[in-house]
Chain A
């Protein structure tokens, strides 16, 4: 039973679901305790223990159907021995079979050890003991070896099973295969989480204010000069408002989507986060982001003729329109982030608009996805805009994105 379970967990990992050793043990525990004999209940039990995010549920369902393929037709019985040693039909698990050539031999004996370790543990508390951690480490190493073997043999990249080690260096300013995009999105999510944690630590400091002696004494007059109520002087932390102006022409949006994702993940760190997309006219999409993924919005924009998605990007015109319609909504708490390559297609850059905006907002940050050496070549007018910005940064990989995130949170 343990063997089957570990194999199943492995299949899940291959389909991109993160399953830890502890969770596998939980699943084993569940099956031991709760006598689940019916297939739906069996499935629900495994799902509750092995899958921990909504996104992974479809992958789990698919893997489950593949792995626990049962002969329903034979006698109508659904699953009399769900976790017995009965091997499923061989064609039900092609991935495992492929792996058997190189990695599986290493893997087998370990499974037996694992089975013993758990069975010998009596109650088998999954959370305790270094043993579990050791096993976990061992399993990770084994898996790593198996995967290296697999990749060497057929060089198939599996989304999710690879750590995002090189994610930081991936050049975002290009067309990426969908699998990579998924991975990078995950990396961005994690990035946002880290950034926000650091920020909330700073919040915490501000929460524990110093005692406000003056007010405490004033208050104590009411209670016969006894300081019943201690009044603290709280440092006020105010949240900034974030306004994002994003050029989506050409290939800039390849980078833009990651930046927008980052902003979306961090949005509760701002009092308000508004987003505008533009080619030669701006379009507010603040509400859209709550409902639809970025790709869909961009797809949608392509259909919107008013937006002229396939037109030439015209920064000057977009800025002027922004100035016209939204200047009054900017305040000293606003952090304005502009993402674009500053290639105006020889149109008037209208850089005075940024100058005016600068006087109204807290900070202006310009992110350029092009490598620095290409700035100001041909129709790029970065240097016309940069005097009006507090920061001008190159932004084309995750490491730079992280710097940007930090900068925005600190602003």
Chain B
């Protein structure tokens, strides 16, 4: 599909995929595509950071390549690895051919020399196991690269990523330098577990997403929950937004709001009541203490009433 024409276009195409957003979110997305710059998305868990990359891939009809970061992630898991096993297997199977080849040589030195010439057969792309980063660089068509939860990786990986993101080329000693045919669109997400380096921030466009406003979340719930009554959707969202202000151990995400709304629809609930709340709250809240606190303090009365 064609590139975005404006931020408005982004909003529309995202909405076509049931992702509701405003110009605050659409503008940076539009700009990142236009300027081919990475986009760094920060925000609390469950506000749809990762979703942006998926929507972007969907809207532009591009493949999504995902790199999930974790502590201890290193180049060999993010970039490429040689397939030792395959190399060994091939050596074994080609034993005869290699023997034949070496039969023609008289000295050991010559044999080494001859083998050396065949080096490239074993260190070729056939034996290269591309990991997400290399995959994104090698892809013939433009792709969307999602680097998820970058704040979980180590600082050194972050610096390494910086290098890759700046020119989208990688040097592999045995193969030379590989450059991206088409620059991938890169979306980085972070939960701010760790402060990211200035250098990385400088190279990216920045977007902070917060929980959606009441109206927006109601629209999201209505869109994602077929058959829900508008009144109930309103109640649900008001309740959830109230909970988010209460300093819970694990505040409910948008996805959980939707799950809860779905559960209420399945149970044929017309409106929130204490009974329904106590039987379905575990869909919304995933922490025992939080649930107890809500039931005890009776926030349901305020929200439902």
Contact = CB atoms under 8 A, between A and B. Distances in A.
Interface stretch (A17-25, A94-102, A103-111, A350-358): A17-25
Interface in A181-199: 189, 193, 196-197
Contacts of A229: 85
Interface of A: 18, 20, 22-23, 26, 29-30, 33-34, 36, 40-41, 44-45, 47-49, 51-54, 57, 127, 189, 193, 196-197, 200-201, 203-204, 207, 226-230, 265, 268, 287, 291-292
B92 A226 contact: yes
Interface residues of B, number: 41
A34 B4 CA distance: 11
Contact of B34 (A34, A54, A57): A34
A18 B23 CA distance: 25
Contacts of A18: 198
Contacts of B203: 127
Q: Which 10 pairs from chain A and chain B are nearest by CB?
A: A44-B27, A52-B201, A48-B28, A48-B205, A197-B155, A200-B154, A52-B206, A54-B208, A40-B23, A41-B27
Contacts of B198: 18, 52
B289 to A, nearest CB: 10
A34 B26 CA distance: 13
A26 B84 contact: no
Given A44-B27, A197-B155, A230-B84, 11 more contacts: A23-B202, A49-B206, A51-B206, A53-B201, A54-B192, A127-B166, A193-B197, A204-B156, A228-B84, A228-B88, A268-B194
B1 interface: no
Nearest to B87: A228
B31 A45 contact: yes
Interface of B: 7, 23-24, 27-28, 30-31, 34-35, 37, 39-40, 42, 71-72, 74, 84-85, 88-89, 92, 154-156, 166, 192-195, 197-198, 201-208, 247, 249
A164 to B, nearest CB: 14
A160 to B, nearest CB: 13
Given A51-B206, A57-B208, A201-B156, A45 B71 contact: no
Contact of A291 (B40, B205, B247): B247
B195 A265 contact: yes
B31 A200 contact: no
B35 A30 contact: yes
A52 B34 contact: no
B199 to A, nearest CB: 10
Given A26-B37, A193-B197, A265-B195, A41 B7 contact: yes
5 contacts: A22-B202, A44-B24, A54-B42, A193-B155, A193-B197
A56 B36 CA distance: 24
Nearest to B4: A34
B204 A41 contact: no
B161 to A, nearest CB: 14
Contacts of B74: 204, 207
A193 B151 CA distance: 12
B31 A34 contact: yes
A34 B198 CA distance: 25
A251 B2 CA distance: 63
Query: By CB atoms of chain A within 10 A, which of B34, B74, B155, B166 has the most?
Result: B155
Nearest to A46: B27
Nearest to A204: B156
A27 to B, nearest CB: 10
Contacts of B89: 228
A372 B198 CA distance: 37
B195 A30 contact: no
A34 B194 CA distance: 33
Nearest to B155: A197
Contacts of B34: 33-34
Contacts of B206: 47-49, 51-53
